[in-house]
Structure 1
Amino acid sequence: MKTEAAARQWGSTLDSVVVYAQGALCRRLARGSVPRDGKVRVAGLPRSLDPGSLRARVLGVPGVRVTEARVDVEAGTPGLATPDGLHREVERLTDEYAAALARRDRQLGLIEEVRGLKPVPPARRRDDPHRRTPVGAWLDLADFVDERLTRLHSRLAGLERTVSSVEHELDVATDRLARASTDAPSAHVPTTVCAVLTLDRPGDTGVVPGPDGLRAAGTEPEEDGEPEVEVELEYAVPGAVWVPTYRLTCRQGDSDGRLLMRASVAQRTGEDWTGVRIALATADLRRGNDLPRLRSIRLGRRQAAPAPSGWREPPAGLAGLFSGYDAAGSPPAVRAASVAAAGGPAVLPGGPVPSPAPVAAPRPVLPPSAPAPAPPSAPGYGGARPGLAPQAPSGRPAGRARSGGSSFAGAPGRPAMAAPAPGGAPAPPPPPPPVVVPPRPSGTELDYAALVLSGPDESGTHRGRLFPGAPTDPVAQEYRRRAESVASLPLPGDAVRPRESAGSFDHRFDAAARTDIPSDGTWHTVTVTEIPVGLRTEYLTVPSVEQTVYATLVLSNATDQALLAGPVEVTVDGEFLLTAALPTLAPGAVRRVGLGPAEGIRVIRRTHLNESTAGLRHNTTVLDHRVHVELANGLARPVTVEVRERIPVTSEPDVRIEERADWTAPEAGTGPENHAPGTRLWRLDLPAGATAALAGGYEIRIPTGKALVGGNRRS
């Protein structure tokens, strides 16, 4: 059976992560025995988490619930710092590389020594005759040098290969170390972030000490020991982003295809996501959820100030909250400092040094009818400030005599209030109480979890009241700042952030399998799901702009889930074709994706303009435009071609436009894209190797005194 100390420290594993447009929501599972006091610590949380987002609940055990959950940071005992595997590998390869270089340099030195071998004849004296050169010795030496150099160069080639191999391994290990995960504390003293939970077991009505330790009040110790429970922790972390990517696989002539949705995910949260379930959402993790409130408007001389949200009147008896503390006096250190400041005995390490005995002040004489004054005491919260005379219940100073005679002096630094002379003017009435205006708390003051109760040593305006506590841990803020740096990563080509492509709707995509994403701040590809889409291949041409036919894929989303904008890799008949930009497809929407020019289809466009006049007085100018388009299909299969033309549009009442063609105007909101006003379409099916001719035109009738901007004769 586990000990109490071991049961209070639980390990945890990361089970699932939901990555939002920026940030992530992590879910951890922890299992362990519930101690008798219900206090457990769940370790393994990252340092960059948001403490206000921690949530905890018990799974599968009825009656056991979490009554408190908070984040705590512990400092571990510093031990011997042992390098991790990557550091050790880099150091080993560095030593091995230096040794390989040394062996190669020694081999180069041997080669230079052998290369320097040459025959040296003996010194010839003046009287010695000429000697014959021993050719055999020269040849033997040359053969020896040649054989020796051959062996040395052969060994040098092997050493060069070893140096190159070790250098490559060292470069790879150095790169891996530079790209290593940040899931490791960088401080000298290791710190651990854990969740402190308080669990309420069935039948617990409190924890009381017993003969065998702590036990629940009103219950007997359980015979089966401490129950095993599973706790789910949920918390939010910054430093995670994602963008969608796709891969489209189809075959020529098919009316459907498979769209594989993938996601590029980057995270630097400080913990590695190993074997977790990934879900991707387009929502904003930090968006506000406060409901708007419409207040009424009153007309009159004065409007009552609305009650501030979150503010409550101080409870009754707040002034006497620290009365016992004030009656006991201030702490010894504060008391000694006050005495020293007032001229009393100074406290030294050897003991207090006595000062001259003070001269006793004359005691005031009270009349027999005057009651004895109450001993002065430090005021509580809401009382008079130090330095003011204490007030009596009647509103007058407490030390003031009721009749003639002397009176108590006020507080130090304030002159004593003299009694009025007999028969004098009556005392002025007390001033009216000040109007108490309810404060308007700020956002930090309404964060109740971060408020701290001010103690008795605070100033008079803070004693016993709730105020915002100390600022957030600066170390945790630095971890969050580093985590949020992934938001500035450059996006892959044609990628669009999900918050921009989703519009005003939020979507969620669940990955089909568990995956691993290290905390290194780089993009990692995750397979999400496979979505069936309807598609058809169409060819589009706008000959008035460019006499080229383009191949397009018309995609239709028949599912109940939207497809966000992003890059799509198109594979046709098992061969990669190109990477295009997929627009956002809402459920039921149809969009067109361009595949580039179709070289097998040709288009030619010719225009003709005839200008004439009409009317009884020839007061109308008629501009007759004729358009001729010819198409030729050089492919081995029939194709569907859409030809786009345009006619002018006008808002002038005396200008008329008459069409003379069999083209059609696109219906608004029914096609895969929006068309500009004046767009006209021809749609025709071309068999393999066939040609077609299209003819159309329109007339523009304008008054003779007017003309088109830029001239009437233009295409």
Structure 2
Amino acid sequence: MTAETVQRWGSTLDSVVVYERGALCRRLAQGCVPPDGRVRVTGLPRSLDPGSLRARVPGDPGVRVSEARVEVEAEPLGSTAPDGLRHEVERLTEELMAARCRRDHLLCLIGEVGALRPVAPPRRRDAPHRRTPVDAWLELAGFVDERMTGLHSRLTEVEEVLSRTEHELEVAEDELARASTDSPAAHVATTVSALLTVDTSGSTAADGGAEIGIEVEYGVPGAVWVPTYRLGFRHGDSSGRLVLRASVAQRTGEDWNGVSVGLATADLQRGTELPKLRSIRIGRRQPAPAPSGWREPPAGLAGLFTGYDAAGARPSTATAAPVPAVGGPVPPPHPAPQGYGAPPGPAPAPGGPSPESFAGAPPPQAPARTGARRGPADRSFAAAPAPMAPAPPGGAVPPPPPVPPSGPPQPSGAELDYTDLVLCGPEAQGARRGRLFPGSPFDAVAAEFRARADAVAALPLPGYAVRPRESAGSFDHRFDAAARADIPSDGTWHTVTVGEIAVGTHTEYLCAPSVEQTVYATSVLSNTTGQALLAGPVEVTVDDDFLLTAALPTLAPGAVRRVGLGPAEGVRVTRRTSGRESTSGLRNNITVLEHEVHVELANHLAGPVTIEVRERVPVSSEADVRIEERAGWTTPDEGQGPDHHAPGTRVRRVDLPAGGTAVLEGGYEIRMPAGKALAGGNRRS
């Protein structure tokens, strides 16, 4: 079955779910299934993870996809391929190199002309002294001056051209870097498609030639997002409008045009396999080990290549590894183990025979298969050459190597991955011929695309932005945008409006005059929804006027937090203190420190306000030190409210009408033994 005989279906990108890093894309394709059931769905990006490909037929339980795999096709681009930015960069690069060559040539000429000096002919020993030809010296100086003037004029012009070309090249390179990556690479057009096998035996509609729809889902790296908000409310209202937005950046290699966008805080690469707890048995009787999946190569395997060897030398015999698909990696040659004669079967049970009898060295054990995407380092061969042990000091004879246990070798996890096994051809060396070894052709080909896609994770975050995984904590949340959006694959931030969230809000004014005699306006937000709000920047709008951009903390369902709105210039506060020290007791053995606090408030706003004034009293853990407070100040309740208060905090709430004033009196007395003193002195504010 060749690529030309498989029916091609075009696909359109329908929805994307962006995770903490990476995204899951869903494409839709539609058509009539051919009699052989083989369909090629085109339009997939080059950076996709082949292990994440999924396909299904929605709406018809009688039709199912029995096989799905990724295939890559490459063909040269025509001369009329649209690639203006890249050609412009190449043209400017050539012009820059030519300008530098001209500048270097002129600098060389200037150095040569500037080095011209008059040299007198050597005088013989018996010859008399001769007069210096001044005219010749002046003529040479005039020649040098004329040539240097012309060369410096040309050098100035070339340096101007060089500076202008460097600037144009920087602009073109920046435009190329910011341009969408949804375009073919230079000189080669790569087509990634999903080769599906559709089984229509259980459906009568599909057998009659009716069209069916197929959903193809795959994961791609190179997509990140952070939440942003816009809060709008009016003075005096008890509710506000919180618009959830997201800054999304992606460089997946395909433009997301008109797609449904979902935003999730989960880790797309997190493993989901449960650990297996095996029993421990005591005694001689043990359960039979599972088959190792290895069997002896067929007899006469080396004889299959006798005719190939007798045909003579090939044009190139340096390649000792199988030839992969288009753009695939060429595995490096290394000692050939006794490879598999057939694809391996189930994974071996623990405690089986050691693989050291397999070509003298154990095969590398691959990690357990999880949801994580594997990199090129996970594709290892069946065995690696055993390192040579260093010679012991003193010329001692090294101990003999241990005798390897008998039994068939145990293949590793990488060797049991059927999709990654490659059959070595006759060009391979030695015992590698005709055997299967791990080596997927997709790793090296897609490494550059994935590395370029993962670069978006290093983008600088917007102000006050927090990574979703950091603010979500131990819970995962998902937000779905209300409308479709366009997000190009250019690696820059794009804003997507997710939806509007109803939150409870009211404005409170706070001041701590003992620290700073300024009144601050705050907005108290309460999350009345059943979904958490992640931390991020929030643009605050009051009465349709933009106020500032603040940091919104994480709000769990039902949580209440405070967002600062800055100083309230229309509310003034003034604080004065006074202190007096005296003694009491029968023998004047008790020192009394009396502190008085005088706070004045003035409201110059157009409406009434409620101000919370915060003061503090000393806190002591010694029994012989007593602190007596004046009435009117209360201890804040830690069970309610969005703030956490330090010990000794006292608050007082005052309602002020427009243009009103208020005076608050407070203070405390400290009674302690006369032999003690406060740290820093007794007379303090």
Is residue 637 from structure 1 mapped to residue 607 from structure 2 by the alignment?
yes
* Paired residue type of 1:62: P
**Structure 1 equivalent of residue 306 of structure 2:** 331
Is residue 313 from structure 1 mapped to residue 291 from structure 2 by the alignment?
yes
Please state how far the C-alpha of 1:660 moved relative to its aligned partner.
2.6
Judging changes above 3 Å, is the alpha-carbon distance between structure 1 residues 305 and 278 closer, same or farther for their aligned structure 2 residues?
farther
Aligned residue pairs total 524
**Structure 2 equivalent of residue 499 of structure 1:** 469
CA distance in 1: counterparts of 2:285 and 2:636, whole angstroms = 59
Is residue 604 from structure 1 mapped to residue 604 from structure 2 by the alignment?
no
Please state how far the C-alpha of 1:277 moved relative to its aligned partner.
0.4
Deviates more, 1:237-246 or 1:465-474: 465-474
CA distance in 1: counterparts of 2:236 and 2:304, whole angstroms = 94
**Structure 2 equivalent of residue 483 of structure 1:** 453
* Paired residue type of 1:323: A
| Matches for 1:562-641 after TM superposition, within 5 Å | 562-641=532-611
In the alignment, is the contact (CA less than 8 A) between 2:76 and 2:187 conserved in 1? no
* Paired residue type of 2:273: D
State percent identity of aligned pairs: 69
Is residue 234 from structure 1 mapped to residue 204 from structure 2 by the alignment?
no
**Structure 1 equivalent of residue 23 of structure 2:** 24
Please state how far the C-alpha of 1:691 moved relative to its aligned partner.
1.3
Judging changes above 3 Å, is the alpha-carbon distance between structure 1 residues 458 and 655 closer, same or farther for their aligned structure 2 residues?
farther
Judging changes above 3 Å, is the alpha-carbon distance between structure 1 residues 524 and 322 closer, same or farther for their aligned structure 2 residues?
same
SS in 1 for 2:273: coil
Judging changes above 3 Å, is the alpha-carbon distance between structure 1 residues 596 and 494 closer, same or farther for their aligned structure 2 residues?
same
CA distance in 2: counterparts of 1:245 and 1:293, whole angstroms = 42
Judging changes above 3 Å, is the alpha-carbon distance between structure 1 residues 288 and 174 closer, same or farther for their aligned structure 2 residues?
closer
Please state how far the C-alpha of 1:585 moved relative to its aligned partner.
1.4
Q: 2:240 aligns with which of 253, 257, 272?
A: 257
Judging changes above 3 Å, is the alpha-carbon distance between structure 1 residues 471 and 304 closer, same or farther for their aligned structure 2 residues?
farther
Q: 2:265 aligns with which of 275, 282, 286?
A: 282
Q: Deviations over 1:329-386 (max 9, x none)?
A: 6423446899xxxxxxxxxxxxxxxxxxxxxxxxxxxxxxxxxxxxxxxxx999xx99
Judging changes above 3 Å, is the alpha-carbon distance between structure 1 residues 586 and 705 closer, same or farther for their aligned structure 2 residues?
same
**Structure 2 equivalent of residue 267 of structure 1:** 250
* Paired residue type of 2:560: V
**Structure 1 equivalent of residue 193 of structure 2:** 194
Please state how far the C-alpha of 1:706 moved relative to its aligned partner.
3.3
In the alignment, is the contact (CA less than 8 A) between 2:292 and 2:408 conserved in 1? no
* Paired residue type of 2:675: G
Judging changes above 3 Å, is the alpha-carbon distance between structure 1 residues 531 and 552 closer, same or farther for their aligned structure 2 residues?
same
Please state how far the C-alpha of 1:610 moved relative to its aligned partner.
2.7
Is residue 63 from structure 1 mapped to residue 38 from structure 2 by the alignment?
no
Q: Deviations over 1:592-626 (max 9, x none)?
A: 11111111111111222233344455444333332
Q: Deviations over 1:636-681 (max 9, x none)?
A: 2110101111223334444443333322222224211222222221
Q: 1:511 aligns with which of 457, 461, 481?
A: 481
Judging changes above 3 Å, is the alpha-carbon distance between structure 1 residues 15 and 75 closer, same or farther for their aligned structure 2 residues?
same
Deviates more, 1:74-83 or 1:14-23: 74-83
Please state how far the C-alpha of 1:84 moved relative to its aligned partner.
4.9
* Paired residue type of 1:26: C
In the alignment, is the contact (CA less than 8 A) between 2:56 and 2:216 conserved in 1? yes
CA distance in 2: counterparts of 1:553 and 1:260, whole angstroms = 16
Q: 2:666 aligns with which of 696, 699, 708?
A: 696
Deviates more, 1:556-565 or 1:603-612: 603-612
* Paired residue type of 2:306: P
SS in 2 for 1:544: coil
**Structure 1 equivalent of residue 274 of structure 2:** 291
CA distance in 2: counterparts of 1:543 and 1:223, whole angstroms = 78
Structure 2: gaps spanning 5 or more residues? 91-168, 314-340, 343-352, 359-402
In the alignment, is the contact (CA less than 8 A) between 1:75 and 1:191 conserved in 2? yes
Please state how far the C-alpha of 1:577 moved relative to its aligned partner.
1.9
Judging changes above 3 Å, is the alpha-carbon distance between structure 1 residues 475 and 325 closer, same or farther for their aligned structure 2 residues?
closer
**Structure 2 equivalent of residue 142 of structure 1:** none
CA-based RMSD of the aligned residues comes to 4.1
Judging changes above 3 Å, is the alpha-carbon distance between structure 1 residues 255 and 314 closer, same or farther for their aligned structure 2 residues?
closer
In the alignment, is the contact (CA less than 8 A) between 1:7 and 1:34 conserved in 2? no
CA distance in 1: counterparts of 2:530 and 2:27, whole angstroms = 30
In the alignment, is the contact (CA less than 8 A) between 2:308 and 2:426 conserved in 1? no
CA distance in 2: counterparts of 1:470 and 1:171, whole angstroms = 38
* Paired residue type of 1:230: G
Structure 1: gaps spanning 5 or more residues? 92-169, 205-218, 339-379, 387-432
In the alignment, is the contact (CA less than 8 A) between 1:322 and 1:456 conserved in 2? no
Please state how far the C-alpha of 1:282 moved relative to its aligned partner.
1.3
**Structure 2 equivalent of residue 713 of structure 1:** 683
**Structure 2 equivalent of residue 555 of structure 1:** 525
* Paired residue type of 2:554: T
In the alignment, is the contact (CA less than 8 A) between 2:182 and 2:255 conserved in 1? yes
CA distance in 2: counterparts of 1:286 and 1:16, whole angstroms = 20
CA distance in 2: counterparts of 1:238 and 1:562, whole angstroms = 26
* Paired residue type of 1:8: Q
**Structure 2 equivalent of residue 524 of structure 1:** 494
Judging changes above 3 Å, is the alpha-carbon distance between structure 1 residues 437 and 674 closer, same or farther for their aligned structure 2 residues?
farther
In the alignment, is the contact (CA less than 8 A) between 1:7 and 1:32 conserved in 2? no
SS in 2 for 1:190: strand
| Matches for 1:333-348 after TM superposition, within 5 Å | 333-334=308-309
SS in 2 for 1:482: helix
In the alignment, is the contact (CA less than 8 A) between 1:7 and 1:33 conserved in 2? no
Please state how far the C-alpha of 1:194 moved relative to its aligned partner.
0.8
SS in 1 for 2:188: coil
TM-score, normalized by length of structure 2?
Answer: 0.68
| Matches for 1:528-539 after TM superposition, within 5 Å | 528-539=498-509
SS in 1 for 2:57: strand
CA distance in 1: counterparts of 2:524 and 2:629, whole angstroms = 29
In the alignment, is the contact (CA less than 8 A) between 1:49 and 1:235 conserved in 2? yes
**Structure 2 equivalent of residue 405 of structure 1:** none
Judging changes above 3 Å, is the alpha-carbon distance between structure 1 residues 281 and 438 closer, same or farther for their aligned structure 2 residues?
farther
CA distance in 1: counterparts of 2:196 and 2:436, whole angstroms = 24
SS in 2 for 1:485: helix
CA distance in 1: counterparts of 2:586 and 2:566, whole angstroms = 53
CA distance in 2: counterparts of 1:283 and 1:551, whole angstroms = 36
CA distance in 2: counterparts of 1:597 and 1:436, whole angstroms = 81
CA distance in 1: counterparts of 2:518 and 2:301, whole angstroms = 92
Please state how far the C-alpha of 1:703 moved relative to its aligned partner.
3.8
* Paired residue type of 1:22: R
Please state how far the C-alpha of 1:556 moved relative to its aligned partner.
1.3
Is residue 44 from structure 1 mapped to residue 32 from structure 2 by the alignment?
no
CA distance in 2: counterparts of 1:450 and 1:672, whole angstroms = 55
CA distance in 1: counterparts of 2:569 and 2:535, whole angstroms = 28
| Matches for 1:99-138 after TM superposition, within 5 Å | none
In the alignment, is the contact (CA less than 8 A) between 1:4 and 1:35 conserved in 2? no
In the alignment, is the contact (CA less than 8 A) between 2:419 and 2:440 conserved in 1? no
**Structure 1 equivalent of residue 129 of structure 2:** none
CA distance in 2: counterparts of 1:539 and 1:67, whole angstroms = 65
Judging changes above 3 Å, is the alpha-carbon distance between structure 1 residues 305 and 480 closer, same or farther for their aligned structure 2 residues?
farther
CA distance in 2: counterparts of 1:287 and 1:664, whole angstroms = 50
Is residue 545 from structure 1 mapped to residue 505 from structure 2 by the alignment?
no
CA distance in 2: counterparts of 1:250 and 1:649, whole angstroms = 40
Please state how far the C-alpha of 1:27 moved relative to its aligned partner.
0.7
CA distance in 1: counterparts of 2:408 and 2:299, whole angstroms = 26
**Structure 1 equivalent of residue 82 of structure 2:** 83
